[in-house]
Structure 1
């Protein structure tokens, strides 16, 4: 192998890695995983001489390619735009701003529902609200959840230390819980994603966290601080 071959392999690897980083913020990331499984099965079918299965998968791939372009047209357009402007500089995780906002909201009895995106993209839920792409600050969160404002009843989604969207609709859990709609929404989102969801009770002023389909007991600020710090 010559140095040109090594350079070729390195550039292809960097290209694939960059594409993965761009797709990781969209719902298409789950599709990519499915495509990899599909291609693996197709390759094994050809390797084992399974002609009928190979023929079916080959035709499905041809039709599927056109369908993907149509279904994921917004994501493809966004991908090209991000390639043009480059990757934004990631900011330090301002968890203390979030903690300060939660404390003030709880003290004032203002209900809140805040989801921290992890590996599972929450872009579909962000689309149900108002996309902000704003710097996270306690004053912004306090304003968004101030009673009577248009977005205060919905959820806020945080992505990489920024406010992605507000006024979002989260799925309600079917579990029998003696709590309000915000708590059911926090549970519901944690059941369909790996998000960490903070919920502030409007009636009691308590703070709970939903994760993995489970709702924590009321937390004090120090316990919440430890949880948020681990997200850094």
Structure 2
């Protein structure tokens, strides 16, 4: 059978589909789910290939029940992927929004207002935004300072930025168990960075220092210029 342009188009579309799916799940907890499924399918295939009837029967029947179990257990991840698919893809953050963020962080640090700010990347943070007040507001330094002013209703929670806009404030982030000696804000920054690819800024109300949590690790205190360089690199701004 001759290789036609339709075959080439088919291969390109399938490749693009799998690449898009990979971009959606890489850096998220769903990646571990995919790895587990691949191992499961490999074992099932080998069991069939080697004629292991009992193991094949068990794995075949478990697959049916497992599909429903996975939908229930990984419902937040599946919802996040669908949210990501349905959201228009735009620039992560404009240069103007980044400068407003840095100006706001500098003012928060100068006044020693404790702050927790998450920058969404590939992993959707909609489930955490839902725990606070959804704002969908234009980002500004004055707004950040107002939100984290001590005594305001939302100052104890975290803020979430999405593509250069303030998505929500007063949000609850998961606390990391790895560094129990840290304060609550720093543990929340680490916790969110452990379950997502978000960049999480935390301003200490005791010292005014600014640190960045990424991939389950917390940076040392950063200067404004070091922070700007890291954010521009990560966000391609």
Give your verdict on TM over 0.5.
yes
Secondary structure at the residue paired with 2:113? coil
Identify if the C-alpha distance between structure 1 residues 173 and 65 changes in structure 2 by more than 3 Å, giving closer, same or farther: closer
Q: Matches of 2:29 and 2:57 in 1, distance apart? A: 29
Q: TM-score scaled by structure 1? A: 0.75
How far residue 98 of structure 1 moved from its aligned partner, in angstroms, is 1.6
- Corresponding residue number in structure 2 for 1:186: 189
How far residue 196 of structure 1 moved from its aligned partner, in angstroms, is 3.0
Q: TM-score scaled by structure 2? A: 0.74
Q: 5 Å matches for 1:68-83?
A: 68-69=70-71, 72=75, 75=78, 79=82, 83=86
Q: How many residues align?
A: 229
Residue 89 (structure 1) aligned with residue 90 (structure 2): yes
Q: Matches of 2:80 and 2:123 in 1, distance apart? A: 21
- Corresponding residue number in structure 2 for 1:41: 43
Q: Matches of 2:45 and 2:9 in 1, distance apart? A: 27
How far residue 48 of structure 1 moved from its aligned partner, in angstroms, is 3.4
Q: Matches of 1:109 and 1:75 in 2, distance apart? A: 39
**RMSD over equivalenced CA pairs, Å:** 3.6
- Corresponding residue number in structure 1 for 2:64: 62
Q: 5 Å matches for 1:88-127?
A: 88-93=89-94, 94-118=97-121, 122-127=125-130
Secondary structure at the residue paired with 2:152? coil
Conserved 8 A contact 1:27-1:124: no
Residue 223 (structure 1) aligned with residue 226 (structure 2): yes
Conserved 8 A contact 1:25-1:123: no
